[in-house]
Amino acid sequence: MKGKRCRCGFVTRASKPRCPRCGKVTSDAEWKDTGVVLSSTRLKIPPEGFKASMALVLVEVDGQGPKVTCWSEDDLTAGDGVAIVETGTGTYICDKQKPKAP
C-alpha cells in the first residue's frame, strides 16, 4: 500500500504534495497490506453487491500507516489483525488474519 508521509508524523493514502497539518513537503511511503482493527460496526443493510451482515471497519495500516475504512464479512473487534485488499475502485476489503502456526 502506497501513500505519503510528513516529517511531522502525518500519513495518508492520498497523493498530497504538502502536508495538510503543517504544510511541509511530503515524501513517498509504503506499508504492508495488513493492519489492526481500531473500530467496527455491523450493517444490517449491506451496500449493493455484498451479502447481508457486512461490517464497516476502521483499520490502522501496518501499525504505523494511515487509517482506512474497509468492508468485511468477518466478525471483527478492536485489536484483530487483518489483511487489506484494495478493490481498484477506491474501496478496501479486509479479512481476519489467521493465527500463525507454532
pLDDT tens readout for residues 18-35: 999 999 999 999 999 999
- Give tens-digit pLDDT for 31-55: 999 999 999 998 887 777 766 678 8
Q: Please tell me whether residues 21 and 49 are part of one structural domain.
A: no
CB atoms within 10 A of CB 86: 14
Q: Please tell me whether residues 13 and 36 are part of one structural domain.
A: no
Helix (H, G, I), strand (E, B) or coil at 5: strand
In a domain, 36, yes or no: yes
Question: Phi/psi class of residue 38: alpha, beta or left (left: φ > 0; alpha: ψ in -120 to 50)?
Answer: alpha
Q: Please tell me whether residues 4 and 17 are part of one structural domain.
A: yes
- Global confidence as pTM: 0.80
